[in-house]
Amino acid sequence: MSAVRERGGTSAALRLPEVPWPPRRIRAALRRARRSDWDFRDGRIFGSMCTMPLPLAWESVHAFPTANLGNPGLCPGTARLEEEVVAMLLDLFHAPPLTAQGQILSGGTEANLMALWMAREFTGGTEVVLPSSAHFSLTKAARLLGLTPSWVPVDAHGRMQVQGAARRVRRRTAAVVGLAGSTELGAVDPLDELSRLALSRGVPLHVDAAFGGFVLPFRHELGLPGIPFDFSLPGVTSMTVDPHKMGMAPIPTGSLLTRDRELWRCIEVASPYLTDPTSRSLLGTRPSSSVAGCFAAMMSMGRQGYQGMVRRALALTGRLRSGLEALGLPIVTEPTMNIVAARHPNPRGLQNALLERGWDVSAIREPPALRFVVMPHATRVSVDGLLRELAGILRTHPSAARSPRSRGSRGGAASGRGRTGRARLEPEEVRLPRAPPSG
Ligand code: 0PR
């Protein structure tokens, strides 16, 4: 069998080549693969919480190919950058400057896992109190750590019911988790009440602000009602915040922030042969060029940049919301951030119909609804285009025609989209600049 086989129009290397490939051939193979991936800059992705990073942030990642904070003595420059990025995050989220600590990680999953790991080690607890709206990374974390999840129902607005949480907190509780921006609705749990509960019962409160962390502070600064969610609430012990979501940093960039640096001691293991004889992270070799990308993103944006980004995303969310209502799709709850969900009896059917036409949206089950995340790559043109497409589908297939079926792989959808030759939006309609050429 040949080492390379044509599959779906893209040459896939199936075996290590005997003879090295020339760079031109490698670049061509990579370009083919890249071309069949979806591109945020088309403005057609409304099902993702990530976006096109700023070009300077992307460029900065490439400038740090050897950085590895798993052995920080070899990259004191990167370690200093991490300290600066973490300090900016701690300051943004009102952490006490003398005791707080943080780390730049691969994303929300790693941060949530580490937070529950610390809480388990700190308290010796065996259970975790979670809202039913929690991201699945918390289910994974509980399972990996042998913690029993104690699920708390949410109210009609998708917010954790505090009474339910209070009933579930016991001596065995390792942590309560609250959300500042739920994955499906962008809902913020009543964190001030949860903070009081956590303090009165002496349990850690972890806030998953993976998405909301780069929205809520700036929403408040735009004059919208402030929503307490961070270390300004005295019961909050740790926070997940993902710069690769609304922070405009490249994938993968997450962060875990803690009120008290002692929590990091709880997970310490000896690493005697490295430049730092103790390791306080989950990973050994860490994706550390992300630190440079995150630094560049935060410095390029500044408070004003994030304010503008949030203002624009919220305005477009409002436009989308009105359009959805005009199509007869009632929204599930008033959007708190740039996420809106609209009820429909067959969201999977609609999602698939949109996918076939080159639009990515998400379907949620409870309540049955289509969910749209209006990220910085969305534009007026793309929002209006999506609404037009949706109107067409609803007109021709009132119940989205087909019965719900599994969504299938993105890759398959993307190549199908390619075959149908859907038109890309004109570049000038999309504000974010294109990435540096790949070849
Ligand atoms: N916490 C919350 C509240 C989240 O929404 C997510 C991810 C995580 C934690 C986990 O973060 P990482 O995925 O960085 O580990 N939320 C998105 C989701 O599952 C992630 C995503 C991003 C999905 C881009 C699709 C996509 O194209 O919907």
Confidence of residue 12 (pLDDT cuts 50, 70, 90): low
pLDDT for the residue 398: 66
pLDDT for the residue 55: 95
Q: Is residue 185 part of a domain?
A: yes
Ligand 1, closest atom to CA 242?
14
- Give the Å distance between the CA of 6 and the centre of ligand 1: 32
pLDDT for the residue 410: 36
Q: Which residue did the predictor score with more confidence, 421 or 192?
A: 192
For residue 284, pLDDT over 50 is answered with yes
For residue 379, pLDDT over 50 is answered with yes
Mean pLDDT of 158-183: 98
For residue 403, pLDDT over 90 is answered with no
Confidence of residue 416 (pLDDT cuts 50, 70, 90): very low
For residue 7, pLDDT over 90 is answered with no
For residue 290, pLDDT over 60 is answered with yes
Same domain, 96 and 241: yes
Domain total of the chain:
2
Same domain, 311 and 392: yes
Ligand 1, closest atom to CA 360?
27
pLDDT for the residue 415: 33
pLDDT in tens, 334-373: 999 999 999 999 999 999 999 999 999 999 988 999 999 9
Same domain, 227 and 210: yes
Instruction: Give the start-end residues of each E strand in 68-163.
Output: 101-105, 127-131, 148-152
Q: Is residue 428 part of a domain?
A: no
Same domain, 247 and 209: yes
Same domain, 166 and 267: yes
pLDDT in tens, 296-336: 999 999 999 999 999 999 999 999 999 999 999 999 999 99
pLDDT for the residue 231: 98
Question: What is this structure's pTM?
Answer: 0.90
For residue 181, pLDDT over 50 is answered with yes
Residue whose CA is closest, atom 27 of ligand 1? 48
| CB neighbour burial string for 254-272, b if at least 16 within 10 angstroms, e if fewer | bbbbbbbeebbeebeeebe
DSSP 177-220: EEEBS-TTT--B--HHHHHHHHHHHT--EEEE-TTGGGTHHHHH
Spell out the long-range contacts of 407-415 with Cβ–Cβ below 8 A and sequence spacing 24 or more: 407/348, 407/351, 407/352, 407/355, 407/363, 410/38, 411/8, 411/36, 413/355, 413/356, 414/36, 414/37, 414/38, 415/8, 415/9, 415/36
Q: Which among 171, 177, 124 is positioned nearest to 146, based on CA atoms? A: 124
Ligand 1, closest atom to CA 209?
3
pLDDT for the residue 297: 98
pLDDT in tens, 125-155: 999 999 999 999 999 999 999 999 999 999 9
Residue whose CA is closest, atom 25 of ligand 1? 48
pLDDT for the residue 11: 54
Same domain, 59 and 46: no
Question: Which CATH number is 365's domain given?
Answer: 3.90.1150.10
Ligand 1 cavity residues, CB under 6 Å: 48-50, 107-109, 112, 135, 137, 181, 183, 208, 210-211, 242, 254
Question: Which CATH number is 145's domain given?
Answer: 3.40.640.10
Mean pLDDT of 14-34: 95
Q: Is residue 319 part of a domain?
A: yes
Same domain, 282 and 324: no
Q: What percent of the chain has pLDDT over 90?
A: 85
Same domain, 361 and 282: no
What average pLDDT does the structure give for the chain? 90
Confidence of residue 430 (pLDDT cuts 50, 70, 90): very low
Same domain, 364 and 240: no
- Give the Å distance between the CA of 211 and the centre of ligand 1: 8
Confidence of residue 424 (pLDDT cuts 50, 70, 90): very low
pLDDT for the residue 220: 87
For residue 255, pLDDT over 60 is answered with yes
For residue 101, pLDDT over 90 is answered with yes
Same domain, 333 and 248: no
For residue 274, pLDDT over 50 is answered with yes
CB atoms closer than 10 angstroms to residue 392: 12
pLDDT for the residue 409: 36
Enclosing domain of residue 327: 42-52+303-405
